[in-house]
Structure 1
Amino acid sequence: MANPRHFLTLKDLNPQELQGLLERAIEMKREHRAGREQRQFPGAVLAMIFAKSSTRTRVSFEAGMAQLGGHAMFLSPQDTQLGRGEPVEDSARVISSMVDIVMIRTFGHDIVERFAAHSSVPVINALTDDYHPCQLLADMQTYLEHRGPIAGRTVCWVGDGNNMCQSYINAAAQFDFQLRIACPEGYEPDAGLLKAHGDRVSVVRDPKAAAEGADLLVTDVWASMGQEEEQRERERAFAPYQLNRELLALAAPDALYMHCLPAHRGEEISAELMDAPDTVVWDEAENRLHAQKALMEFLLKACA
């Protein structure tokens, strides 16, 4: 197979392709709920390489590939030579020669880049320390379903300038919205990424100012996987950055709020918002399944 398409960040697809993915994800969700047949890739194998554990990522990709008619293979560091020091490049050559598509959830973003560079099949970034593009597909699908196109809207990110925040920066460019990032000093996203998107992304210290009139408020845990030792320090730094009813009241009247989960009620988001009957957080979580099915369909057809 020559030059397979990969999905390592949102920038790997153009805005038209991304919009098409969201529309297809909504269609596939509708089909699934109606009991329509979606097994269009019988015998296809997805290799799921996990260096970081996850509930939603494993369940959504494994269920998604089964619904597409294929099979998903779970690979942890203990199950592969990657965990025993085999070069990423060698593992990429071997694994991709035996499967049809690969999903990787790991630490350094360079790992997925090196794997993709030596893979003969499509590679999907299911999370790295720098980016989480699959979650953004689900978030954008959720907004589209509930409020229509996000183009021209204002999004407020509250909290750490982490991989989710950095994917929101890419999303601002690809889906054409303004992004305000409210974070404490020292916890900003990558400076180069901010500079490259300075026309539509701004960093502010006051979460209330960032939330003013916003159409979507988004947050994530204060300490990501691998940062557990910083938990107490981060709790002090982020205490004023909770997504709660008071902050939501400053946003647009029909504003939505999202969280990629798992959530720590009473920390980055209030229990009141997490458990509100009208929250879209659970739709957002389910949409990982449908957005990723649309993504796998796109990548598999692109290399057919």
Structure 2
Amino acid sequence: MTITTTPQTATIKHLLRDTDLSRPVYEQLLADAALLKREKASGSIQPHLCGLNVAVIFEKPSTRTRSAFEVALHEEGAGCTYMDSASSHLGSSESFEDTAHVLSRFFDGIAYRGFAQSGVDQLAEHGSIPVWNALTNEWHPTQALADMLTMRETSEKPLKDIVVTFLGDGHNNVANSLMTSAAILGMDVRIGAPELLQPDPAVIDAARLIASRSGARITVTTDVNAAIAGADFLYTDVWVSMGESDELWDQRVPLLLPYRIDVDLMHGTGNAKTQFLHCLPSIHDSTTVLGKKIYDRFGLDGAEVSNDVFRSPASRVYDQAENRMHTIKAIMLASFAPMNTGS
């Protein structure tokens, strides 16, 4: 096994939720990811994970996260074995505990994307190798890292001075991870959502506790204008998440229309430099099967964001998508870093 060194200093074992990361480690991961991105852009990638093998277990479908892990592992010299719900026994005839023990005998790390947070927690508890949360119902830490790298790259301000506002379904994994990560980094983060779709009070309390130490500012409100005032970034996500009933659209569309990001809402920030973020996939027009269904049912051409915002020069959605790969590389290198020192 050959693991070459990299100028990063962050070391972690698992990444199960955003609260696993301290501010110094988070900032170092972002610096590492930026360096790895520059290496790729210059064509000077030096593989750091040669001889390692990682299991990528996805019980939910994925485009960006799967691609990010597979390409990152390939470029870093590691082997990758992809398993979905049809190609493994996990959760059907084999427990998370047994799977963790077995895979620890074959692999050096596990990326897991699934449903309940307890699944990824059990893989980490019972296995002997690093485990990374590639999305659960509750948390999406690899997405938040990519979001932070994108804001770090595209804003003239340092992260601690940035105002980022999430609008829409605030009771989802992306909002949880964004709010918590922003709290860790000392940012001004706002969640604008109706009462029924605000983050879990326990997540808000945890983020506010972190903010009391980091200097972050956290706002959770139903008031759209208060949420967006002066925002440097407006962020949204689909209004009905993977695994939720299609019938929820009938409830969500009238509830969330005031939080839909269009050109008027972008101008409403009062900040001429406001940029747009979205974790993707996005319903921004009626060209997809789901987009056409939303248009036919509600007369809405695009749901959570209008196409003119999504396609505008202010949109950073493809930067976010690319940055998934660079931040995932940084996470994996940090998890394997102790192997360089024998610790």
- When the two structures are superposed, what TM-score results if normalisation uses the length of structure 2? 0.84
Instruction: Tell me what 1:132 maps to.
Output: 140
Query: Alpha-carbon deviation of 1:257?
Result: 1.6
Instruction: Tell me what 1:247 maps to.
Output: 265
Instruction: Tell me what 1:294 maps to.
Output: 330
The code of the aligned residue for 1:232 comes to: D
CA distance in 2, matches of 1:286, 1:225: 22
Contact map agreement 2:146 2:320 (CA 8 A) in 1? yes
CA distance in 1, matches of 2:239, 2:177: 16
Instruction: Tell me what 1:257 maps to.
Output: 276
Contact map agreement 1:45 1:100 (CA 8 A) in 2? yes
Q: Identify which of 225, 229, 248 aligns with 1:208.
A: 225
1:53-202 residue pairs with structure 2 within 5 A? 53-147=61-155, 148-161=157-170, 162-198=172-208, 200-202=217-219
CA distance in 1, matches of 2:272, 2:339: 44
Contact map agreement 2:183 2:218 (CA 8 A) in 1? no
SS in structure 1 opposite 2:106? Answer: coil
CA distance in 2, matches of 1:138, 1:94: 31
Deviations along 1:227-258, one digit per CA (max 9) or x if unpaired, are 13312211121111111211111222322220
- Paired-residue identity, %: 37
Query: Alpha-carbon deviation of 1:153?
Result: 2.5
CA distance in 1, matches of 2:176, 2:314: 27
CA distance in 2, matches of 1:62, 1:213: 38
Rg comparison, structure with higher value: 2
Deviations along 1:202-230, one digit per CA (max 9) or x if unpaired, are 22112222101112211100000011331
Instruction: Tell me what 1:11 maps to.
Output: 19
The code of the aligned residue for 2:189 comes to: L
CA distance in 2, matches of 1:119, 1:202: 38
Gaps of 5+ in 1: none
**Where do 4+ consecutive residues of structure 1 move more than 4 Å?**
none
Instruction: Tell me what 2:240 maps to.
Output: 223
**Comparing 12-21 with 75-84, which one deviates more in the overlay?**
75-84
Contact map agreement 1:5 1:303 (CA 8 A) in 2? no
Q: Structure 2 vs 1, CA of residues 169 and 37 (structure 1 numbering), >3 Å: closer, same or farther?
A: closer
CA distance in 2, matches of 1:128, 1:62: 19
The number of aligned residues is 301
CA distance in 1, matches of 2:88, 2:188: 42
Contact map agreement 2:276 2:314 (CA 8 A) in 1? no
**Comparing 92-101 with 147-156, which one deviates more in the overlay?**
147-156
CA distance in 2, matches of 1:136, 1:197: 14
Deviations along 1:33-89, one digit per CA (max 9) or x if unpaired, are 111132121121110011111000111100000000011110112211214231111
SS in structure 2 opposite 1:78? Answer: coil
SS in structure 2 opposite 1:160? Answer: coil
Deviations along 1:141-173, one digit per CA (max 9) or x if unpaired, are 011111142113222110112111111121122
